[in-house]
């Protein structure tokens, strides 16, 4: 049966972390996979999560099945976190999914079901799994210009020029905030232009919100998306609890559908549940129960928000320390862009050769393409990283 199969290519991100684990050097740095680590180098279980888990342990009376859409109270609480008081809430409904990855796949499946010739446009560059997920769902993938390697910021003119050519057959995948892998986010003005174009030309916005709270704040990070949501007839969202709740392995996410009418959204939801049924059927409950408990309890929610603020501020602190250290090392402002980037990642402009040298000579592991995970860097490792970067990137 399987004799004609050859082994799959390695996961480009996870394989870097595995290689780092096998590296015997004491001062190696794993800046590959996108997980948050604290100053001790640990990816912690949040205290708010511990409290919710304790409550769950003491009160949960059944492990019976929940349903194809998961927990509806989780779905409602997550919609509120994502949309706030946004007017599109009246037509937005959701399905609990195994991570945002599960949401991306189910939403891709339902797009393919509705329109097999739909084309998904994604940013050049984008999250390493976006294209494989969309292609496996049978969708055609294309790219709009996004990252400008010169300025290290978004090439909004180029992006909007491409989007201006799109129409009803097209889906535009946008990162809600904290762009992976570049760290370069859209301006509010760009969100406004995209909204106008979606309305005038009829393409469907599809937002991937994997890092809400890691950029400028929980509300701030949703502002551009909410502007769009209020004004376009239809949109889709894949949202993740992996990073902002630290629930990575619990596989907790949400697929949101907002169509012209609630009735139409309900129809799409039923088709998404059908796709789930023919795959994993029901999503895992533990992470969603934790999130529901936190979001439904005002005091616990406030406490969780302070924990997210601490994570965000640590990342911002690391960004500014690295900028300072690079100014000292290079005597230039060449790396100042790192402080303007948002969220966990930055593309620092290292060539394939330089990424290899960082790995071999210094034990510094970046993802191919030169993505660095600032959220995995300790303040105390900044001087070592800065000297490695300046040595490798100066030559
Ligand atoms: N979307 C983006 C942009 C991501 O960076 C990630 C990575 O974790 C995901 C989706 C997948 O997240 P999850 O762990 O919720 O499946
Ligand atoms: O981009 C990242 O590092 C995160 C984590 O197959 C991740 O999104 C990495 C690889 C992968 C799934 C998630």
Answer yes or no: is 5 within a domain.
no
Q: How many domains, in total, are found in the chain?
A: 2
Residue 161 near ligand 2, beta carbon < 6 Å: no
Specify the 3-state DSSP secondary structure of 364. Answer: strand
Q: What is the CATH number of the domain that holds 123?
A: 3.40.640.10
Answer yes or no: is 59 within a domain.
no
**pLDDT per position as a tens digit, 205-242:** 999 999 999 999 999 999 999 999 999 999 999 999 99
Do 280 and 326 reside in the same domain of the chain? no
Query: ipTM value of the model?
Result: 0.98
Q: Which atom of ligand 1 is nearest to the CA of 241?
A: 15
374 CA → ligand 2 middle, Å? 14
Of the residues 13, 177, 241, which should be mutated to test ligand 2's pocket, given the most ligand atoms within 8 Å of the CB?
Answer: 13
Specify the 3-state DSSP secondary structure of 87. Answer: helix
Residue 180 near ligand 2, beta carbon < 6 Å: yes
**pLDDT per position as a tens digit, 270-299:** 999 999 999 999 999 999 999 999 999 999
Do 320 and 236 reside in the same domain of the chain? no
The residue contributing the CA closest to ligand 1 atom 1 is: 210
Quick check: bond before 145 cis, omega within 30? no
**pLDDT per position as a tens digit, 63-121:** 999 999 999 999 999 999 999 999 999 999 999 999 999 999 999 999 999 999 999 99
For tokens 């609890």, name the residue: 241
Answer yes or no: is 350 within a domain.
yes
Quick check: bond before 93 cis, omega within 30? no
Specify the 3-state DSSP secondary structure of 381. Answer: helix
Do 77 and 185 reside in the same domain of the chain? yes
Do 348 and 212 reside in the same domain of the chain? no
Answer yes or no: is 54 within a domain.
no
Q: Which residues pair with 268 in a beta bridge?
A: none
Q: What are phi and psi of 206, to 5 degrees?
A: -130, 110
Residue 129 near ligand 2, beta carbon < 6 Å: yes
Q: Return the pLDDT at 395.
A: 60
Do 319 and 372 reside in the same domain of the chain? yes
Considering 280, 296, 312, which residue would you say is the last residue of a domain? 296
Do 101 and 248 reside in the same domain of the chain? yes
Do 133 and 276 reside in the same domain of the chain? yes
Q: What is the CATH number of the domain that holds 39?
A: 3.90.1150.10
CA–CA–CA angle 140, 145, 151 (5° rounding): 155
**pLDDT per position as a tens digit, 7-41:** 999 988 999 889 999 999 999 999 999 999 999 99
Q: Return the pLDDT at 394.
A: 80
Residue 88 near ligand 1, beta carbon < 6 Å: no
Residue 210 near ligand 1, beta carbon < 6 Å: yes
pTM score, two decimals?
0.97
Of the residues 180, 211, 343, which should be mutated to test ligand 1's pocket, given the most ligand atoms within 8 Å of the CB?
Answer: 180
Residue 208 near ligand 1, beta carbon < 6 Å: yes
Residue 104 near ligand 2, beta carbon < 6 Å: no
Do 243 and 370 reside in the same domain of the chain? no
Q: Which of 209, 216, 218 is closest to 302 using CA atoms?
A: 218
Do 256 and 274 reside in the same domain of the chain? yes
The domain in which residue 270 lies consists of: 65-296
Q: Which atom of ligand 2 is nearest to the CA of 12?
A: 10
Residue 100 near ligand 2, beta carbon < 6 Å: no
Alpha helix (H) residue ranges in the chain: 14-21, 47-59, 72-83, 99-114, 130-136, 156-163, 188-201, 223-231, 262-277, 286-296, 298-330, 337-340, 352-362, 382-394
Residue 246 near ligand 1, beta carbon < 6 Å: no
Specify the 3-state DSSP secondary structure of 204. Answer: strand
Do 71 and 33 reside in the same domain of the chain? no
Answer yes or no: is 327 within a domain.
yes
Of the residues 101, 104, 129, which should be mutated to test ligand 2's pocket, given the most ligand atoms within 8 Å of the CB?
Answer: 129
What's the chain's average pLDDT?
A: 97
**Parallel, antiparallel or unpaired: strands 147-148 and 153-154:** antiparallel
Do 103 and 242 reside in the same domain of the chain? yes
The two three-digit tokens of residue 290, written as one number = 């934790």
Do 19 and 88 reside in the same domain of the chain? no
């Amino acid at each position: 049966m399987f004799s004609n199969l050859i082994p799959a290519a390695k996961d480009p991100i996870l394989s870097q972390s595995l290689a780092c684990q096998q590296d015997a050097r004491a001062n190696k740095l794993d800046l590959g996979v996108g997980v948050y680590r604290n100053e001790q180098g640990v990816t912690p279980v949040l205290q708010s999560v511990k409290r919710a888990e304790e409550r769950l342990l003491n009160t949960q009376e059944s492990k019976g099945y929940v349903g194809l859409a998961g927990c509806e109270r989780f779905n409602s609480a997550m919609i509120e976190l994502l949309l706030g008081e946004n007017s599109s809430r009246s037509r937005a409904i959701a399905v609990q999914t195994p991570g945002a990855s599960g949401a991306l796949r189910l939403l891709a499946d339902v797009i393919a079901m509705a329109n097999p010739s739909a084309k998904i446009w994604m940013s050049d560059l984008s999250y390493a799994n976006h294209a494989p997920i969309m292609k496996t769902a049978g969708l055609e993938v294309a790219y709009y210009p996004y990252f400008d390697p010169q300025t290290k910021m978004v090439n909004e003119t180029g992006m909007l020029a491409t989007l201006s050519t799109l129409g009803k057959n097209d889906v535009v995948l946008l990162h809600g905030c904290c762009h992976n892998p570049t760290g370069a986010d859209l301006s509010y003005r760009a969100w406004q232009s995209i909204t106008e174009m979606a309305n005038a030309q009829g393409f469907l916005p599809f937002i991937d919100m994997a890092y809400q709270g890691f950029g400028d704040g929980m509300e701030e990070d949703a502002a551009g998306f909410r502007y769009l949501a209020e004004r376009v007839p239809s949109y889709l969202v894949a949202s993740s609890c992996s990073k902002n709740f630290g629930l990575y392995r619990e596989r907790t996410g949400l697929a949101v559908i907002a169509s012209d009418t609630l009735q139409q959204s309900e129809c799409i939801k039923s088709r998404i549940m059908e796709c789930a049924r023919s795959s994993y059927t029901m999503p895992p409950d533990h992470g969603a129960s934790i999130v529901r408990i936190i979001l439904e309890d005002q005091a616990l929610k406030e406490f969780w928000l302070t924990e997210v603020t601490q994570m965000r501020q640590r990342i911002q602190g690391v960004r500014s320390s690295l900028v300072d250290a690079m100014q000292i090392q290079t005597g230039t402002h060449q790396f100042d862009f790192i402080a303007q980037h948002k969220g966990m990642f930055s593309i620092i402009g290292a060539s394939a050769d330089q990424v290899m040298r960082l790995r071999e000579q210094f034990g510094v592991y970046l993802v191919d393409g030169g993505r660095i995970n600032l959220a995995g860097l300790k303040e105390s490792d900044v001087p070592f990283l800065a000297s490695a970067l300046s040595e490798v990137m100066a030559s």
